[in-house]
């Protein structure tokens, strides 16, 4: 019964990220206040739920799970012109098509934009599918590594293979962003540390098998490494959010963690960043811009 409850909670929590509501316009505003740093003169934010901030109050767009307190909004407070079109569930392909009633994210780019941030790639890899698969597999061998075994059932890691395609897709997007906004500083924002080395003590909140915690942790590391390489190839800056968040993953106490757990998340969607993370990310991006 306990295991069934965990799996159902995992599925409900993650699938809830993609639930739709009445669409609202993308955040776009012009400020006439004090002069902002030149790089923040005209800021466009693109990305998936790790940029949008589903579940974090206040909600700007229900359909896309876009928060008015995500890292883009925190940075955008200092921008003269700011547009945030990030949307939960977005893949690299979704950047080029309508999502939840909104225009394609890529259409928000302007030739005069001074800053573009992008968080993308997790949904191309299959974050939601991976979480659901691993939570279900944990029922069969809670102390083993059934999810790792599942993805390697053909003798090689299917996620590692998938990652090569993700990297190529992200690289294509980065080059297109630079073409559409040639004056902008472009920052690719990586993914945070989601899991600890040893998750055996937090299986009620994060229902994975004990042996799958290091496998999934390493998968996130490999994804970030692939994103960093694509950023370097495309000559854009990479913001390493993994390093910024080690030790503050979803297995930590409520006052410490920056990522909410799968079961009983507080103030943000399951397996997603909370408001404290967004503040940390905004500061990390600010430091990257200052270098």
Tokens 């980065």, residue located? 174
As annotated, the active-site residues are 49, 272
Which residues, 6 or more positions from 72, have their beta carbon under 8 angstroms from its beta carbon? 27, 43, 45, 51, 82, 84, 86, 117
Backbone angles phi, psi at 250, to 5 degrees: -70, -10
The rounded Cα 16 to chain-centroid distance in angstroms is 15
Backbone angles phi, psi at 138, to 5 degrees: -60, -25
Q: Which parts of 96-252 fold into alpha helices (H)? A: 122-125, 127-137, 146-151, 158-180, 212-233, 241-245
CA-CA distance, 259 to 86, in Å (whole number)?
Answer: 18
């Amino acid at each position: 019964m306990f295991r069934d409850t965990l799996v159902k909670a995992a599925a409900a929590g993650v699938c809830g990220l993609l639930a739709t509501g009445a669409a609202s316009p993308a955040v776009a505003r012009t400020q006439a206040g004090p002069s902002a740093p030149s790089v923040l003169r005209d800021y466009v934010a693109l990305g998936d739920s790790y940029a949008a901030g589903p579940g974090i109050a206040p909600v700007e767009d229900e359909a896309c799970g876009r928060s008015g307190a995500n890292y883009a909004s925190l940075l955008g407070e200092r921008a003269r012109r700011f547009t945030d079109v990030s949307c939960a569930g977005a893949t690299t392909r979704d950047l080029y098509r309508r999502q939840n009633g909104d225009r394609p994210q890529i259409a928000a780019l302007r030739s005069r934009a001074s800053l573009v941030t992008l968080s993308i790639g997790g949904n191309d890899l299959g974050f939601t599918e991976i979480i659901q698969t691993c939570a279900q597999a944990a029922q069969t061998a809670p102390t083993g590594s059934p999810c790792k075994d599942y993805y390697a059932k053909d003798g090689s890691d299917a996620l590692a293979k998938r990652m090569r395609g993700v990297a190529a897709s992200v690289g294509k997007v980065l080059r297109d962003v630079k073409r559409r906004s040639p004056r902008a500083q472009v920052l690719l924002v990586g993914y945070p540390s989601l899991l600890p080395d040893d998750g055996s003590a937090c299986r009620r909140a994060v229902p994975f098998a004990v042996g799958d915690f290091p496998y999934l942790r390493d998968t996130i590391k490999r994804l970030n490494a692939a994103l960093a390489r694509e950023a370097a190839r495309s000559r854009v800056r990479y913001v390493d959010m993994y390093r910024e968040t080690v030790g503050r993953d979803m297995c930590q106490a409520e006052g410490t963690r920056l990522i909410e757990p799968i079961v009983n998340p507080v103030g943000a969607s399951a397996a997603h960043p909370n408001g404290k993370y967004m503040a940390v990310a905004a500061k990390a991006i600010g430091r990257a811009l200052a270098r």
